[in-house]
């Protein structure tokens, strides 16, 4: 087997697609934790977003109204973002207003999301397991014709087309969110105030920064981004919703956030690492007869990588000084 048969542009493009929901949640986690609020509810928020996206898309497709049918998937994406924002609002209320333990609040929301989506799946569709597949999907933003013939330039164009121009809008949204988020966090007044909320909220309070409002906005932004990641997971990667379909991706996003040192760009790049591990797992299963390795080994690769990253970087990565600490105004 040649390396060129294994490391193809499809492998790297697949890694970027798989990394997209992780990256969106990781960017949201970076914004949230920079404000001083730990959001381990990203798993549940992604799950609720994935469920809402499919439910609304299927409802729009069944409406028979041409405008609703033609834009069904976009209504689903909007519903996923709103559902993620709504669930994160509960976390914000519990963590910021009631000053509950943020880990307990996030864990409770993860359990709630798992039970609620399973329950509503049976109530709405009359069965457990999974929904029907959506008919409409987001289409790639670009659709360039392939270069005819074989040769160096056709190979170069194929690499460029697969790595740059083959994605749906949400993939590009994640890239833009990482770039804009990085710039906003470290080059704007909003970013300065956001970081102050997590580093020294009392000092920020003394200069007039509204702590509760700032933390609420950060948590809601993280919920919207994680909900968008859930929409991509159900509407693009799977075209349907199945119970517990996030399968720990929210926790992998948290690991990516830590590995990326609580920055949007860092979280995106760390998500690419995890996405590449999963893409590699899928690719290696096609070569299992060559490698003579059990399938279970490939399936555990992304999760082993998560443990290695946390074990290797958790002790050295230093988060915001006041993250996880409720603020009480004197």
Number of H helices, E strands in the chain: 16, 0
Q: What is the pLDDT of residues 9-60, one digit of tens each?
A: 888 999 999 999 999 999 999 999 999 999 999 999 999 999 999 999 999 9
pLDDT of residue 128: 84
Least confident of 36-40, 83-87, 243-247, 297-301: 297-301
pLDDT at 2 over 80: no
Highest mean pLDDT among 60-74, 102-116, 120-134: 102-116
pLDDT of residue 155: 77
Give 128 or 290, the one with higher predicted confidence: 128
Kindly give the residue spans of alpha helices, DSSP state H, lying in 126-168.
152-164
Give 279 or 215, the one with higher predicted confidence: 215
The phi and psi torsions of 160 (rounded to 5 degrees) equal -65, -45
pLDDT of residue 58: 95
pLDDT at 150 over 70: no
pLDDT of residue 292: 63
The pLDDT confidence band at residue 295, using thresholds 50, 70 and 90, is low
Rounded distance between C-alpha atoms, residue 279 and residue 52, angstroms: 26
pLDDT of residue 312: 65
What six digits make up the tokens of 26? 């990781």
pLDDT at 180 over 90: yes
Q: What is the pLDDT of residues 206-239, one digit of tens each?
A: 888 999 999 999 999 999 999 999 999 999 988 8
Angle at 196 between CA 191 and CA 197, to 5 degrees: 100
List CB contacts of 1: < 8 A, sequence separation 6 or more: 287, 290
Q: What is the pLDDT of residues 78-94, one digit of tens each?
A: 999 999 999 999 999 99
DSSP symbol at 240: S
pLDDT of residue 148: 59
């Amino acid at each position: 087997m040649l390396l060129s048969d294994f490391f193809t542009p499809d492998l790297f493009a697949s890694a970027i697609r798989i990394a997209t929901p992780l990256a969106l949640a990781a960017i949201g986690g970076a914004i949230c934790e920079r404000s001083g609020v730990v959001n381990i509810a990203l798993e549940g928020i992604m799950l609720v977003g994935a469920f809402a996206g499919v439910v609304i898309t299927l409802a729009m497709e069944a409406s028979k109204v041409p405008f609703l049918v033609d834009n069904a998937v976009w209504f689903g994406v909007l519903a996923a973002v709103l559902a993620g924002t709504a669930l994160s609002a509960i976390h914000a209320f519990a963590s910021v207003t009631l000053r509950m333990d943020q880990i307990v609040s996030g864990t409770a929301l993860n359990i709630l999301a798992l039970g609620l989506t399973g329950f509503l799946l049976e109530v709405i569709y009359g069965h457990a397991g999974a929904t029907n597949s959506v008919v409409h999907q987001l289409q790639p933003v670009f659709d360039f014709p392939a270069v005819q013939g074989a040769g160096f330039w056709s190979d170069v164009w194929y690499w460029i087309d697969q790595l740059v121009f083959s994605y749906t809008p949400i993939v590009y949204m994640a890239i833009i969110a990482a770039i804009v988020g990085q710039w906003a966090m470290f080059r704007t007044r909003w970013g300065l105030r956001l970081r102050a909320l997590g580093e020294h909220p009392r000092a920020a309070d003394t200069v007039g920064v509204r702590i509760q409002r700032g933390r609420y906005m950060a948590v809601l932004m993280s919920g919207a981004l994680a909900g968008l990641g859930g929409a991509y997971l159900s509407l693009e990667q799977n075209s349907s919703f199945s119970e517990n379909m996030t399968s720990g991706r929210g926790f992998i996003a948290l690991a990516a956030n830590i590995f990326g040192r609580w920055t949007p760009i860092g979280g995106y790049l760390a998500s690419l690492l995890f996405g590449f591990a999963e893409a590699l797992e899928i690719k290696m299963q096609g070569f299992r007869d060559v490698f003579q390795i059990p399938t279970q080994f490939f399936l555990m690769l992304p999760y082993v990588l998560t443990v290695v990253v946390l074990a290797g970087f958790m002790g050295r990565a230093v988060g915001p000084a006041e993250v996880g600490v409720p603020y009480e105004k004197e």
